[in-house]
A and B are shown apart, each in its own frame.
Chain A
Amino acid sequence: MIVLEGVSKRYENQDALKDVSLRIEKGEMAFVTGPSGAGKTTLFKLLYLAEAPDEGLISIAGFNTASLDDSTIPMLRRNIGVVFQDFKLLNNNTVFDNIALALRIRRVMEREIKEKVTAVLKLVGLRHKADAYPLTLSGGEQQRITIARAIVGEPTVMLADEPTGNLDIENEEGIMKIFKLINNKGTTILIASHNRRLFDNTGRRVFYLDGGQLVKAEVR
Chain B
Amino acid sequence: MFSLRMALNSIFREIWLNVISMLSIGAVLFILFSVVIAVYNVEKLTATLPEKLSVMVFLREDTRRDEARALESAIKSENIVKSVNFISKEKALQDMKGFFKNEKFALSGLGENPLFDTIDVRLKGAGSSAKGVNAFIEKLKGMSAVDDVEYGGALVESVYSLKNGLRVFGLTTGSIFALSVIFICYSTVRVLFYRHEEEIEIYKLLGATKGFIRSPFFIEGSIIGIMGGAIGMCFFLAISRYVFGKLFTEFPLFSMIYVPDRSFYILPVMGFVLGLGGAVIALGRLKY
- A145 CB, nearest partner CB in chain B, Å: 13
> How far in angstroms is the closest Cβ of chain A from B145?
79
Say which one of A25-33, A97-105, A121-129, A208-216 lies at the interface with B: A97-105
Instruction: Give B1-20 as 1s and 0s: 1 = Cβ < 8 Å from A's Cβ atoms.
Output: 11000000000000000000
Give 25 A-B contacts (CB < 8 Å), ordered by A residue.
A48-B205, A50-B205, A71-B210, A73-B288, A74-B204, A74-B207, A74-B208, A74-B209, A74-B210, A75-B207, A77-B206, A77-B207, A82-B205, A84-B205, A88-B202, A88-B205, A90-B199, A101-B203, A104-B2, A105-B206, A105-B207, A105-B208, A107-B2, A107-B212, A110-B1
CA gap between A84 and B212 in the complex, in Å:
22
Judge whether A185 is part of the interface by a CB distance below 8 angstroms: no
* Distance (whole angstroms) from the CB of B66 to the closest CB of chain A: 83
Interface residue count for A (Cβ, 8 Å)? 23
The interface bits of chain A over 73-86 (1 if a CB of B lies within 8 angstroms of the residue's CB, else 0) are 11111100010100
Does A70 have its Cβ within 8 Å of any Cβ on chain B?
A: yes
Find the B residue at minimum CB distance from A84: B205
Chain B residues within 8 Å of A177, by CB: none
Q: Say yes or no: A70 contacts B288, CB within 8 Å.
A: yes
The interface of chain B, by Cβ under 8 A from chain A, is 1-2, 199, 201-210, 212, 288
Tell which of A48, A70, A90, A107 touches B202, judged by Cβ atoms closer than 8 Å.
A90
Q: How far is the CA of A30 from the CA of B1 in the complex (A)?
A: 40
The complex places the Cα of A104 from the Cα of B203 at a distance, in Å, of 10
Contacts of B209 in A (CB 8 A): 71, 74, 105
Chain A: minimal CB distance from B33 (Å): 39
Interface residues of chain A, those whose CB is within 8 Å of chain B, are 48, 50, 70-71, 73-78, 82, 84, 88, 90, 101-102, 104-107, 110, 149, 153
A73 to B286, CA, bound (A): 14
Query: Which A residues lie within 8 Å of B210 (CB)?
Result: 70-71, 74
CA distance A159 to B208 in the complex (A): 18
Nearest-Cβ distance from residue A68 to partner chain B, whole angstroms? 9
CB of B205 within 8 A of CB of A105, answer no
Name the residue among A50, A74, A102, A110 with the largest chain B CB count within 10 angstroms: A74
- From B1, which residue of chain A is reached at the shortest CB distance? A110
Residues of B within 8 A of A77 (CB): 204-207
The 3 closest A-B pairs by CB, nearest first: A77-B207, A78-B207, A105-B208
Complex Cα distance A107/B202, Å? 16
Q: How far is the CA of A26 from the CA of B106 in the complex (A)?
A: 118
B206 touches A101 (CB 8 A): yes
